[in-house]
Amino acid sequence: MSTTSATSTKQPTRLLRLEWWRWRMTPGKALLLALFAAAAVAAVYRLFVGLGPATGLNDSMPWGLWKIVDVVVVVPMGATGFVMAFVRYFTPGGERYEYINRRAVIWAAIMYLSMGVRLAFDIGIPWRIINPIVFGGNLHSPLFEIAWCVFLYLIVLFFENISRVAEEQKRPWVHRLDHALHKILPGFVLVGILLSTMHHSSLGTLFMITGKRMDPLWYHPWLNYVFLLTSIATGIGLMMVIEGWTSTYYKTRFETGLLARLAPWTAGILTFVLIWRLGAMALEGNLGQIFVPRVETALWWGEILLGYVAPIAILFSKARFTKKGLVTGGLLVTLGMIALRLNVGFTSLMDALGAQYTPTIPEILFTVGATAGTVVIYTWFVETLPSILGPREQQPTEPLEATGD
Amino acid sequence: MAYGMLIDLSKCMGCRGCQVACKQWNDLPGEQTTLGSDFTNPQKRSAYTWTTIEWLTTEVDGRTVSTFTKTGCLHCLQPACESVCIAGAIHKQDNGAVTIDHDKCIGCRYCQLGCPFGVPKYEYDQVVPRMQKCNLCYSRIEAGLEPACAATCPNDAILFGERDELLALAKERIAAGNGRYVDHVYGEHEAGGTSVMYISHVPLDLTTLNTNVTTEAVPSFTWKAMRQLPALVGSAAVLSLGLLAYSNRRARLEAEQRGGGAQ
């Protein structure tokens, strides 16, 4: 599978010089790949039988797992890209975040691409996924705004990532081109940030159309900004998790100091969101709802305690100077973001819609498998383009050995 | 001319002629149905059943009250479905009908989430599905006819005409009824006003009309956020570029302090 050193002498005749199979199979990755394959089977099944038989969707529940998880959760999982690029290119001392940013933008690219592919299977007529871009649509629709932002942001992500491939090339003109790209990259990054502030907030706007049909525990007059702010918090929080797992798996350095520097910002954003959410509930006169014994109330408390209170406490405390503290805090931030999306998409709306919805096995397999697939693809990129991990001179000459299974 | 319908629930006798006419005109297939505790049949509207008469039997002061409610799309003046449609497939036509262009629809099903009345229904059982709902017999109106349900109603419970005139008629009937009607034209303000309106002789909560619905135009719920996007993007740009200027300046000062001078 892996190329031998003999091929390197023939490289100049190839248009793209890349060692495609530095990637190594391990038992852990094999398991993820198996799940990925299962998702592919579920996807093909859905294509042949249609949405009704393949999923639990019905007229009472138009948006299920494939929309709420595969789009509304997966997009903010890709918020690492714009948040870390912002830190890298626009904040003082940002250049220290170069290698964290490389992992952030490749992860974001995988997340956004994965979202686009998954969404194609969720919509009723998959081959029309590109129609809103090609034929235009409705400027009034938040979904249309998201479609365009995601499409344009994918282009930005391409330019943010292409240098990893360029660095592998031998030809001088490629390097000259890459050098020129670096000069204008902050421009791309800025566009990426602007597109991101738009579509991360619009993902919240999506649900605002339901108005006060939404459960009072999650109703918020400016849900769009709640979604945007929690996306930013996740961009940093999830990065701590990715850094933690990557450094353990590939035995590379975990940048405790750099991430600890960002931790209070995440905690601060979450504190602001928590106060704003409670304040908005109080203004609506719904604060009493948090003590009404219902299943929804338990889910709300779970979200608030685990997704806000706990990470705020960890990331403001001295625990943020340890890898364990950062990874735990970051994981809780991410889970809190996921809980908010799931609660808004399912818990807060199912009663209002009178929804009957149980996800089917293919539906769950697709979502789980596609998510597993994104992790495998991440490892493929990291191992194929080692400059994602750090300066080449600091790396072993041997192909990366995945060790953390 | 913006047409609409006025449904006088006091005149409806529950014959379901409208249901049958709707199926016939729109060439909709029959469905396997079951009976519930009431005589609503089919139990729910679907992609193949755009209108139903919903029976609701309630006990009021020891008296059994049975009501019939003609359901279906209310053809909002400012439809939520139109505003959220990603493909621009849904349109409020000049003649009052809210129609779906199947060639444009990609099947995102956002209209189902947006509609406060739960009207759009999807062909989930099809491999290449379409979003379906009452289109106010758009083609019949264009040909100078009434919608099929209104044309077939034997007791004139479904009146078709210009919305303004129907609204005036509704108020006239309520005033002339001396308490026979509930003093409320459903659809005058619901969801910001709808083209299909109801008057009722029984309190509305004895019918299956959604009495919890907002009186604001639903598209405004998302528009209030969408219209702030330019300001949001502008602030993000100012913040980013401001911070960039600060970072560059700080880097330059630090370099000077180290004695190296400007790089």
Instruction: Enter the tokens of residue A169.
Output: 């090339």
Nearest CA-CA distance, residue B90 and chain A, Å = 9
Which residues of A fall within a CB distance of 8 Å from B121? 59
Residue A90: its pLDDT value, please? 95
Q: Could you give the dihedral angle defined by the CA atoms of residues A142, A144, A145 and A147, in that order, rounded to the nearest 10 degrees?
A: 120
Q: What backbone torsions phi and psi does residue B126 show, to the nearest 5 degrees?
A: -95, 150
Contact B86 A147 (CB under 8 A): yes
Q: In whole angstroms, how far apart are CA B230 and each of A76, B104, B227?
A: 21, 28, 7
- How far, rounded to the nearest angstrom, does the alpha carbon of residue A256 sit from its chain's CA centroid? 22
Residue B259: its pLDDT value, please? 75
CB atoms inside a 10 Å sphere around CB B183: 10
Nearest CA-CA distance, residue B218 and chain A, Å = 7
Instruction: Enter the tokens of residue B149.
Output: 């349900």
Q: Which residue of A has its CA nearest to B45?
A: A59
- What is the Cα–Cα distance from B223 to B41, expressed in whole angstroms? 38
Which of B127, B213, B223, B250 should one mutate to test binding to chain A, selecting the residue with the greatest count of A CBs within 10 A? B127
Contact B127 A129 (CB under 8 A): no
Q: Provide DSSP, A310-337.
A: HHHHHHHSGGGGSHHHHHHHHHHHHHHH
> Model confidence over B65-90: pLDDT tens digits?
889 999 999 999 999 999 999 999 99
Residue A9: its pLDDT value, please? 47
Of B44, B88, B106, the CB nearest to A128: B106
Nearest CA-CA distance, residue B175 and chain A, Å = 33
Which of B52, B105, B111, B240 should one mutate to test binding to chain A, selecting the residue with the greatest count of A CBs within 10 A? B240
Interface of B with A in 106-135 (CB under 8 A): 106-110, 112-114, 116, 118, 121-122, 124-131
Contact B246 A92 (CB under 8 A): yes
Contact B86 A224 (CB under 8 A): no
**What is the torsional sign of CA A340, A83, A145, A42?**
negative
Tell me what the pLDDT averaged over chain B comes to.
94
Nearest CA-CA distance, residue B190 and chain A, Å = 14
Of B105, B218, B247, the CB nearest to A90: B247
If pLDDT is split at 50, 70 and 90, which confidence band does B258 have? confident
Bridge partner list, B68: B55
Across B245-250, average pLDDT: 93
Q: Are B68 and A91 in contact (CB under 8 A)?
A: no
Which residues of A fall within a CB distance of 8 Å from B219? 140, 209
Which of A91, A194, A209, A346 should one mutate to test binding to chain B, selecting the residue with the greatest count of B CBs within 10 A? A209
Q: Is the pLDDT of residue B50 over 90?
A: yes
Burial of B234 (0-12, 13-18, 19+ CB in 10 A): exposed
Helix, strand or coil for residue A214? coil
Contact B218 A209 (CB under 8 A): yes
Contact A194 B250 (CB under 8 A): no
Q: Provide DSSP, A93-131.
A: TGGGGHHHHHHHHHHHHHHHHHHHHHHHHHSSSGGGTTH
Across B139-144, average pLDDT: 95
Task: State the first-to-last Cα distance of chain B, in angstroms, to the nearest integer.
Answer: 71
Contact B124 A128 (CB under 8 A): no
User: Chain A within 8 Å of B246 (Cβ-Cβ)?
Assistant: yes
Q: In whole angstroms, how far apart are CA A180 and each of A166, A171, A174, A176, B235?
A: 12, 15, 10, 6, 28
Q: In whole angstroms, how far apart are CA A221 and each of A300, A360, B85?
A: 17, 33, 22
User: Chain A within 8 Å of B259 (Cβ-Cβ)?
Assistant: no
Contact B225 A140 (CB under 8 A): no
Q: In whole angstroms, how far apart are CA A383 and each of A22, A254, A386, A396?
A: 6, 17, 5, 12
Contact A52 B125 (CB under 8 A): yes
pLDDT lower than 70: segments of chain A: 1-18, 20, 392-405
Residue A168: its pLDDT value, please? 84
Q: What backbone torsions phi and psi does residue A260 show, to the nearest 5 degrees?
A: -60, -30
Q: Are B4 and B75 in contact (CB under 8 A)?
A: yes
Collect all residues with Cβ–Cβ distance below 8 Å to A336 and sequence separation of at least 6.
A230, A270, A303, A306, A307, A308, A311
Which residues of B fall within a CB distance of 8 Å from A207? 113
If pLDDT is split at 50, 70 and 90, which confidence band does B217 have? very high
- What is the Cα–Cα distance from B191 to B212, expressed in whole angstroms? 10
- Amino acid symbol at A11: Q
Contact A53 B125 (CB under 8 A): yes
Which residue, B141, B159, B169, B163, is CA-closest to B3?
Answer: B163
Interface of B with A in 226-245 (CB under 8 A): 226, 229, 232-233, 236-237, 240-241, 243-244
Query: ipTM surpassing 0.90, yes or no?
Result: yes
Which residues of A fall within a CB distance of 8 Å from B118? 59-60, 353-354
Residue A1: its pLDDT value, please? 39
Residue B201: its pLDDT value, please? 93
Q: Are A51 and B127 in contact (CB under 8 A)?
A: no
Residue B263: its pLDDT value, please? 45
User: Chain A within 8 Å of B218 (Cβ-Cβ)?
Assistant: yes
Contact A204 B225 (CB under 8 A): yes
Which residues of B fall within a CB distance of 8 Å from A53? 125
Which residues of A fall within a CB distance of 8 Å from B112? 59, 62
Instruction: Enter the tokens of residue A58.
Output: 């019905």
Q: In B128-228, which residue ranges form alpha helices assigned H by DSSP?
A: 138-142, 148-152, 163-176, 219-226
Which residues of B fall within a CB distance of 8 Å from A125? 105-107, 128-129
Contact B225 A93 (CB under 8 A): no
Determine how β-strand B158-162 pairs with β-strand B3-8.
antiparallel
Contact A63 B106 (CB under 8 A): no
Q: Which residue of A has its CA nearest to B128?
A: A125
Of B116, B131, B247, the CB nearest to A94: B247
Which of A91, A141, A144 should one mutate to test binding to chain B, selecting the residue with the greatest count of B CBs within 10 A? A141
Cβ-based contacts under 8 A for chains A and B:
184
